[in-house]
Structure 1
């Protein structure tokens, strides 16, 4: 796993080098979101408001909200609507209610057309008001239900009795009859006042009389998520998943990126780093099939996590680095000999660096000179999946040339084992890196304009194996 911190520069590099892929995935996500909106038809939501007169506590309002969405109310509304294509269970999922400010219950109904949504919310609101009035006017407790009604009947019967007694009394002929009629009228008045106070004290009377505040307004737009929202959400989701996928892949990447790690994995000494002019075409695969064209079109034929090439250098500076590597290699060898320049297959930067090392070895003095000459190299490309190095013959030793950030420790260990199987010891490691090029300046020695050969001076020309 890479220990590099995920920084904004990493995200910027993803956006810069993978913008074609990200744009393609965003379009795919938009199409998926649009297809989802086609599979699931649009929904419309209408709302009706019910006013609850009187004083209500918050918990009482929440109870009324539960009653408004109860199966009893919704089933009665469904029976009244008579929709055969919607079941009662599905209809209950489409009805919601909430308590608003001012003792108002807002009932919302969702349907596939604006008209049906309006009718659903209106019908549920009406069924809720009727059911609430029934609860307030007729409790399930028989004693509580019959007590006030029985009392009213008794009062009415008493009033009729008082009327009969008043009519039976002598109408104003004696003092006693006048007093009796006056007492009876006072008794009638007292009974009426008592019943009025009883009605005012009844909490059910206070909280009855819920009213629907007009019909629900016909919806003019789709309920969320709309088709546009699904399309935009699909594009954004695919875009974010692509970016996160790149970040996770970079975080889980086990390829070695530093020279000490590479040298330790190969079990040899680092002879130095060399520069290769950056050429994006050199990173592209040579396969010209349809899949390769698609990869090239999406911009995924090259890696996005390769570091940005270092500052511009010229050819003279690069050749100095190559000569220094050859000098260190010569110092490690007891005598001039032929070596294999082992390059992992697919590492174009390393292959070009190995060819440049061959060219530098060609320009060195002969082995009989006081400088003893540079070693003679032959470039060999090996597969990292099943590496195979030629057996020891005229060459005795291997110089591994590769670029950083492309190979894991297991793959490099496989190359070392392949060299050992062929009878070659790894005498050194050279790490190649891309740089930005600039015009050549004078270097004090002529540049080698000839195309570098894969084999150098000695018996035969050799070749890649």
Structure 2
């Protein structure tokens, strides 16, 4: 196909003409998704929040998330839960932690029941807080802690001494006494600020005081992917794969669609194009097997990669096209003679056009007195896989009738070689196109219903799908 293959109109054409197949594949995908959900039990997820007071940098928060899912914390949580056959390593894939806004660590737990998911999240959060506090206590130097406490006591004593000095200063309202008391108040304020900063700098006073912000909420729904998500996802996946498969097959198709390509493959000239009404015809005996019925049931017996048939004119206009082709054919041959009308097996459009062409040639033998009449035509079906044309007898030439976009260059070249092997010259090519017939029919309809007697039976197999 050309670059228009991936246009939305092409996808719409696939959906319209292959909706049965796409529906069946979507149902199959939904069943596959349902079967997948049976192999994996439902999972439930919930989370517990841990508040980290104080000032924390981003890298410190990331470190805390790693600690929350460390093997030490998970081993303690598994020992506390006492779940049969569940160890800390088994919980590694079921527990997650991430840093949220406001110095909050969210610890999530996943289990096969809502109760177990809630218990897992709460227990891991509690073990994380306990381990973090113990870790801070273990990393604190006892000598530094003693020195810090001694410094704080000295600051308190100094503050009291400043208060005493301020009280014993000259209670008068002299300038010197006022300045002295002001300086003492500033010194006391500075000492109080220093104490506050010391308290904030103490790691044991803030970063060890992590708080679990309540128990985890019990989950009310399954964790994704849920059974419904798997069913819908399977149906959508199979639907998309079917559409992509149609587009890929169309892009890789080597079927000839243009008149010059077809003429070059057969090595002959194009005599013209004829229209075939897109009426539903009775199925031949060859098309009534089980596989043919299945193909018709799922809608793959109709080609999707050809444009919708255009509305044709009346029956008289279509007959004019056939008569013009017969006239050109008469001009191509030197004298009236018998010709084979070669139609590829499976090309139903070309078969109907060939029969109509034979009927027109028989009903209109000579349009003018100077003409010696149209050639006598006989329709034969040729298999494209193993082309075989009857040997030259009464017929001395071949007219190939086919529809565009149905055959590759190699298949058409094989038909041309089969004609040459049977000593038949390909005198011309006729392209048949499907059109949409109007509801109203002409009253004076020509002899279209008269089906010509075929000397060689048309043994087409398959369809143009």
Task: Report the TM range for the smaller structure's normalisation.
Answer: 0.7 to 0.9
CA shift, 1:198, in A, is 5.3
Q: How far apart in 2 are the matches of 1:325 and 1:122? A: 87
Paired with 1:90 and 1:264, the residues of 2 have a C-alpha distance of 69
Q: 3-state SS of the aligned residue for 2:273?
A: strand
Aligned to 2:240: 240
CA distance in 2, matches of 1:434, 1:90: 66
Mean CA deviation greater in 394-403 or 144-153: 144-153
The answer to whether the 8 A contact 2:77-2:88 is kept is: no
In 2, are the aligned partners of 1:50 and 1:213 still within 8 Å (CA)? yes
Q: Which residue of 2 aligns with 1:404?
A: 404
Distance 1:203 1:153 in 2: 13
Separation in 1, partners of 2:197, 2:4: 81
Instruction: Quote how far apart the aligned CAs of 1:46 are.
Output: 1.5
Shift in alpha-carbon separation, 1:371–1:448, aligned structure 2, 3 A: farther
Q: CA deviation at 1:446?
A: 5.3
1:186-201 equivalent positions in 2, closer than 5 A: 200-201=200-201
The 5 Å alignment of 1:66-465 reads 66-139=66-139, 145-149=141-145, 151=147, 200-281=200-281, 286-365=286-365, 370-438=370-438, 439-441=440-442, 447=447, 449-455=449-455
Q: For residues 449 and 304 of structure 1, what CA distance do their matches in structure 2 show?
A: 29
Q: Is the 8 A contact 1:283 1:302 kept in 2?
A: no
C-alpha distance 2-286 of structure 1, shift in aligned 2 (>3 A): farther
2: distance between equivalents of 1:203 and 1:449?
102
Q: Is the 8 A contact 2:381 2:457 kept in 1?
A: no
Partner of 2:263, secondary structure, is: helix
Q: Deviations over 1:7-60 (max 9, x none)?
A: 221111111111111111111111111111111011011211111111111221
Separation in structure 1 between the aligned mates of residue 451 and residue 213 of structure 2, nearest angstrom: 91
Partner residue, 1:46: 46
In 1, Cα distance between the equivalents of 2:381 and 2:270? 20
RMSD: 2.9
Q: TM-score, with normalisation over the residues of structure 1?
A: 0.84
Contact preservation (8 Å) 1:358, 1:453: no
1:358 Cα offset (Å)? 1.0
- Aligned residues of 2:74 and 2:124 also touching (Cα < 8 A): yes
Deviations 1:210-259 (A, max 9, x none): 01111111111111111111111111111111111111112222111122
Unaligned runs of 5+ in 1: 159-192, 456-461
Q: Would the aligned equivalents of 2:355 and 2:451 in 1 still touch at CA under 8 Å? A: no
Alignment partners' CA distance in 1, 2:124 and 2:77: 5
* Contact 1:358–1:454, Cα closer than 8 Å, also in 2: no
Work out the number of aligned pairs and report it.
422
Instruction: State the 1:430 CA deviation.
Output: 0.2
1:291 Cα offset (Å): 2.7
How far did residue 205 of structure 1 move? Answer: 2.8
Distance in 1 separating the partners of 2:452 and 2:27: 47
Structure 1's consecutive aligned runs of 4 or more residues displaced over 6 angstroms after TM superposition are 152-156, 193-197, 282-285
Per-residue deviation, residues 245-288 of structure 1 (Å, max 9, x unmatched): 11111222211112222111111100000111112446888432
Task: Note the C-alpha offset of 1:111.
Answer: 0.2
SS of 1:99 mapped into structure 2: strand
Paired with 2:314 and 2:399, the residues of 1 have a C-alpha distance of 25
| Contact 1:389/1:419 (<8 A) preserved | yes
Matched-pair contact (CA < 8 Å) for 1:76–1:127: yes
Separation of aligned partners in 2, 1:60 and 1:389: 85
